[in-house]
Structure 1
Amino acid sequence: MTLRPLFCALVIGLTAGLASPSVSAQDAADACTDFHGFANAGWLMANPLPAGADSISALGQLETRARQEQIELLNSAMQAPQGPVQQLLGDFWASGLNEAGVEADGAQPLAPLLDRIVAIKRSKSIAPAIAALHQVGIPVAFHFGADIDLANLSRHIGYFSQGGAGLPDPAYYLRTDEPTQAVMGQYRAYIEKILALTGVKDKELAKQAQLVIDLETRLAKASRPLAELRDPRSNYGAVDTASLGAQYPNLELDKFLEAQGVSTPTVSIATPARLAEVDRLIGELKPEQWRAYLRWRVGDSMAPYLAKAWRDAHFDFHGRVIAGTAAQPAREQQVLDAINHAAGPMLGHEYAARYLKPETRNQAMLIAGQVRNALAESLARDTRISDQARAEASAKLAKMKIELGVPARDLDFTIQPMGRGSFGGNMLIASTWRHREEMRRIGADNADRRWDVLPQQPALTYDLAQNRLIVTAAALQAPLLGSLAQNATLYGSFGALVGHEISHGFDSRGRHIAADTSLRDWWSPQDASTWEAMGNRVVAQYSGFDYPMLGGVKVNAMATRDENIADIAGVQLAWEAYNKAVPDADKKAREAFFEGWAGLWPQHLSAESAAQLAKHGVHAPGKWRTNGPLMNMAAFGTTYGCKAGTPMQLKADDRIVLRPEPAAEKRKK
């Protein structure tokens, strides 16, 4: 329904099961050998990998808890709604859980859409039908969504991009190898199943499916390979909207934008050749072919929210064949996923109101602000960077915003009443609302209108384009920020994650956005050289770490380099912030800080999962996310009595110190 943001947030899940194991139960030598195993011994023993599971982690436990909280909220809204938004959510939830009602509803939710498609008799009716389907959240022929204007990061513009086909990669339609052809055969069979469910007669199915595949293949031939679209700049092509009606007369893009409620003078068209092909095909192909394609797109898009025959057909292809998933989620999870997809901001608004306590938010804001201040002080005394870069970084940090819990701007929750009669109908109502609100992101000074994560998703993220730290309501929960956790633990867990995230504003990616949010590189050649030399040291260090569960395999230090640097920076900044807040912390409190960091990363992986992560992951495994940063801190060795040269206390010359320590901290040692 919406474009993936150009500036992807670095989302880090937190954990609800963050234990602080007692260090007295272990011998000190263990802490100096493998602190991850030492600090997380209790969790690792109490949480074995379930049979058949790929992984279990503290991160996953918080995600599970957040899902359960959403379910509890929706059950309460269903039984005794508190206010109009909960009434909507409760009705939506009830309609989805009523499987008998969903079965009886059949294809009725699609009837108005299908009736409009069947009524297409001439080419002039195709463009308005495309615009109407986009309005209800069903992308056909192309994608259109809101995203950052790369020429002015304070605003969103509308992005036209390739999409609107049943397969995720245009290469499927173009390759002739045997495995691809096997997938295409299964795809054809799936199209026929969906068309049959929409009411196409058996004798027409093969012909109609071929019309669909032929049209989508034509679009694929005009599409760019996905690899070419990974760079945000390749997705950007600003054009004036005034000329679009004349440039694409059959597609009527001027009227399309009007239908979406978009009136800005500029939009982005990254693949004009593809839009030109859509425009040409509207004029060239017979209406019958467009009717088959549009009917198919409606059926495929809505299949997960309809009766069992629809859901099974959709999962058998998209789940088993394309995604390699073995089994469908439970019905309750399917309905929750649908509500998050179509009405996620509504659920997030109510989630934060129910679960986020003001005192928790205040505590989080205090710690986050202190970590930000620690970074400011570190930048001021860092002689390794140029004066120009230091000034730019300091100005950028001074403008950095911290947003906790929910977005600062509320949405307009005005929406058509749902009722409990039709889950598919409710899905269309909610999707229409969500699309309307996404379109309202487009315009001047609207770039910070929304988050690209939902409040009910446990996440910390640094929004690169808007220079802001975002912490969702689901992340601000015990024991990370609960009354039972030691203060030092909060700095070691939450504070270090804050440091990790905000450090991205000043790393090899953050260097490309200046304090005034303009896109320019504010590093000098010497700054870049200094960063690369430090990055090379991190790569050399992490390349020596064995990957758990995989004999003879090392951590892919190049792939994980930037996240490893952020981990090291985050812990060092949080430690500095804690020591300034509690300068006379005793040994037990200092231990609690390091245990807070370790408690984020316990995990068990299957050998298969470990192999996949070792090959493709951008994060080091939990053991090294714990141990890597700590073995580079003299303060860790001092706290636990680790001698220099032991695994958890590198010799002084081997340690990587990203942030110069304050003089007071040096004097303590």
Structure 2
Amino acid sequence: MKRKILSAIVIGLFTANAAIAAGKTALKSGIETASMDKSVRAADDFYLYTNGSWMKNTPIPADRASWGTFAQMSEELQPRLRALIEEAAAKGGSADAKRVGDLFASMMDEARVEQLGITPLAGERARIAALNDKKQLAAQFAHFSRMGVSSPFDVGIHQDNKDSTRYVADLGQSGLSMPDRDYYLKKDDAKLAETLAKFEAHVAKLMALAGDKNAAATAKAVVNVETRLAQIQWTKVELRDPVKAYNKVEVAKLNELMPGFDFATWMDGVHIGGKVKDVMVSQPSYLQALDKVIAEVSLEDWKAYMDYRLLATYAPRLSKAFVDEHFSFYGTALSGATELRPRWKRAVSLTENAMGESIGKLYVAKHFPPEAKARMEKLVKNLLQAFKQGIDNLEWMSPATRKEAHAKLAKFTTKIGYPNKWRDYSALEIKRDDLVGNVMRANQFEHERQVNKLGKSIDRDEWLMPPQQINAYYNPEMNEIVFPAAILQPPFFDMKADDAVNYGGIGAVIGHEISHGFDDQGSQYDGDGNLRNWWTEEDGKRFKERTAILVKQYGDFEALPGYKVNGELTLGENIGDNSGLAVAYKAYKLSLKGKKAPVIDGLTGDQRFYMGWAQVWRSKYRDAALIGQLKSDPHSPGPFRANGTVRNQPGFYDAFSVKEGDKLYLAPKERAIIW
């Protein structure tokens, strides 16, 4: 993965049919029938059949690049989070509440921000201007890493992919201002070429606002540097290969990759010097080529590039002229939105980004009681059981690999709602009148939190998302599935609805995350989170044959004229969707215990199950945003997540009488059935 009060959000699951049988008030279908377009045949376009009227009648809000279920849920969540933040600040008491309130207030104090203008960045810009030797770039790149500014490569901290008992520092490519290298390199693509021209114009305007007398030349230099970086970077598809990215290098030998770069200074600058004897280098060929790029690009161009990267990072926290110019490119040219989000919403997002778990703690206390977590745990347990049975029934898998798959599944860890222990923000200094300083210190705080993991035991209580985030994830190194509290509400889960729609919604999301443990990437890790091939050679070939079917299927989908879905980039998510929906269907059928599901709103249980899936993915995109997603996002656009998944599900064919000749029909041998 990717509004009602949560006080009883999952109480009804597994009880709907029992309630009907007992003569209690029948539960609703959970399907928004007003959103359907019944003039479209389900067998031809299931997405439009389920969502066609919604697509026709729902505009994309002016301040949004796209709109759909996730965006709408997020929008409805914003005032709740604002209320929690302001209430905590008003009550005072704890230092944490004061930090949250002061950070929010610093963003809301527009008069103070206008008064300061660009002066909060004066010291940082002076630091860049004072550079007089390329040898100093190592210290500057490291400094940028600490303060959250993108430079040509950065450091991340995670578990060693082949030894999940220890943390490693991972050096990876970075430094581009646009979503993908194609924006710089695809000169034959008119839309991307136009966006590149708009980017150069934007850089010139932003630098002119900052007082640059040679803004046009600076802009050309920035585009030149970023184009050089794009030329040597790995593609998004190449970045998906965990084996290719596993390159352990002794610290003492880093200079063999980049002889002209002062790695000792850089290591000290990012505060990992002396903490590690080796590091991971995810893209070694990139660093090797970067050494040449650093040598060939002039120091003045590097300074121009870094000045822009600094301004681009902090422009949204400066005075209105900088905010507007930043939005004109990143909001409008690159994404298609025409209106800036209200300041209070941007303030909520800023506070969440800096202190997500502090707000999450408040959210959980008010909106997610213990009994909700208990019910969700039961649901996940049932989905895991259905997946287990699915493994037993795989005709293409040998007993040896099946045994390993079961061993991995048995070691899954499930996290529901919120973490067992909350993050400590006591070392983060927040000042009510220092917005830019607050953001810098928050970035530095997070950087230090990460690098301080090195040499310590694995924190298995850590969450990668706060409870109020509407999403879910699988972490292969932890072999864990995680479901934040905020996703547990309609349309993913509706306590007033019959079971079918909930299995098609949150059930399929759970199945999706379980399936990530067995997608083309996750299947390369074992139950302990280590990168290890546990497949027999023959089973590995069979698995790749099945995944190749999905690559072809989704690669044929055209989202815009001339822009198709990248079947290789989206493969993992497409496996998650297809296998997740399949296991959710098995779990739904098991929940009926042999009884027939009721017909509600003229729809059978199986029909409501698949429609529950399709209505979750309803979405509309502005063209610029859709192109950006196709180039950089591993998720397929919503219409293809709906249609592309159901046509591989045997149950869908029965539910909607799909026959040969229908547009969604695939012959049995053409269907991708994996887990």
Task: Give the deviation of 1:231 after TM superposition.
Answer: 4.1
Task: Give the deviation of 1:372 after TM superposition.
Answer: 0.3
Task: Give the deviation of 1:390 after TM superposition.
Answer: 0.6
**SS across alignment from 2:363:** helix
Task: Give the deviation of 1:321 after TM superposition.
Answer: 4.6
The partner residue of 1:96 within 104, 107, 120 is 107
Does 2:485 correspond to 1:491?
A: no
Distance 1:83 1:561, change over 3 A: same
- The 2-side partners of 1:293 and 1:571 are apart by 46
Task: Give the deviation of 1:305 after TM superposition.
Answer: 1.1
CA contact (8 A) 1:154 1:448 kept: no
Match of 2:612 in 1: 599
Unaligned runs of 5+ residues in structure 1 are 1-10, 661-669
1:238-277 correspondence runs (5 A): 238-242=248-252, 252-262=262-272, 263-269=275-281, 270=284, 271-274=286-289, 276-277=291-292
Task: Give the deviation of 1:578 after TM superposition.
Answer: 4.0
Match of 1:519 in 2: 531
- Which amino acid letter does the alignment assign opposite residue 614 of structure 2? W
- Mean alpha-carbon deviation: is it higher for 243-252 or for 232-241? 243-252
1:387-466 correspondence runs (5 A): 387-408=399-420, 410-443=422-455, 445-446=457-458, 450-466=462-478
**SS across alignment from 1:469:** strand
Distance 1:190 1:62, change over 3 A: closer
Does 2:515 correspond to 1:503?
A: yes
Match of 1:5 in 2: none
Task: Give the deviation of 1:579 after TM superposition.
Answer: 4.5
CA contact (8 A) 2:129 2:303 kept: yes
Does 2:590 correspond to 1:574?
A: no
**SS across alignment from 1:334:** helix
Rg bigger for which structure? Answer: 1
- The 1-side partners of 2:433 and 2:369 are apart by 35
Distance 1:396 1:192, change over 3 A: same
Match of 1:8 in 2: none
Deviations 1:608-654 (A, max 9, x none): 6999699879547548727964894559958x9x6998979999978
- Which amino acid letter does the alignment assign opposite residue 330 of structure 1? P
Deviations 1:27-74 (A, max 9, x none): x99998689589957984996345888865334322322344333333
For these two proteins, the number of residue pairs brought into alignment is 638
CA contact (8 A) 2:45 2:664 kept: no
CA contact (8 A) 1:194 1:310 kept: yes
CA contact (8 A) 1:400 1:467 kept: yes
1:35-74 correspondence runs (5 A): 40=50, 44=54, 48-49=58-59, 56-74=67-85
Does 2:230 correspond to 1:230?
A: no
- The 1-side partners of 2:643 and 2:197 are apart by 47
- The 1-side partners of 2:301 and 2:629 are apart by 46
Match of 2:218 in 1: 209
Task: Give the deviation of 1:158 after TM superposition.
Answer: 1.9
Distance 1:238 1:37, change over 3 A: closer
The partner residue of 2:377 within 346, 365, 386 is 365
Does 2:160 correspond to 1:145?
A: no
Does 2:382 correspond to 1:377?
A: no
Task: Give the deviation of 1:211 after TM superposition.
Answer: 10
**SS across alignment from 1:100:** helix
- The 2-side partners of 1:495 and 1:184 are apart by 42
Task: Give the deviation of 1:213 after TM superposition.
Answer: 4.4
CA contact (8 A) 2:653 2:659 kept: no
CA contact (8 A) 1:66 1:458 kept: no
- The 2-side partners of 1:69 and 1:525 are apart by 52
1:611-622 correspondence runs (5 A): 619=636, 622=639
Match of 1:467 in 2: 479
Percent identical? 23
Deviations 1:289-337 (A, max 9, x none): 7665544443332112111122223333444455555443332333334
Task: Give the deviation of 1:532 after TM superposition.
Answer: 5.7
- TM-score normalised according to structure 1 size: 0.76
CA contact (8 A) 2:334 2:625 kept: no
The partner residue of 2:642 within 602, 625, 635 is 625
- Mean alpha-carbon deviation: is it higher for 317-326 or for 364-373? 317-326
Deviations 1:86-117 (A, max 9, x none): 32122111221222121012123224434544
**SS across alignment from 1:146:** strand
- The 2-side partners of 1:514 and 1:586 are apart by 39
Distance 1:417 1:54, change over 3 A: closer
CA contact (8 A) 1:261 1:439 kept: yes
- The 2-side partners of 1:23 and 1:228 are apart by 39
Match of 1:663 in 2: none
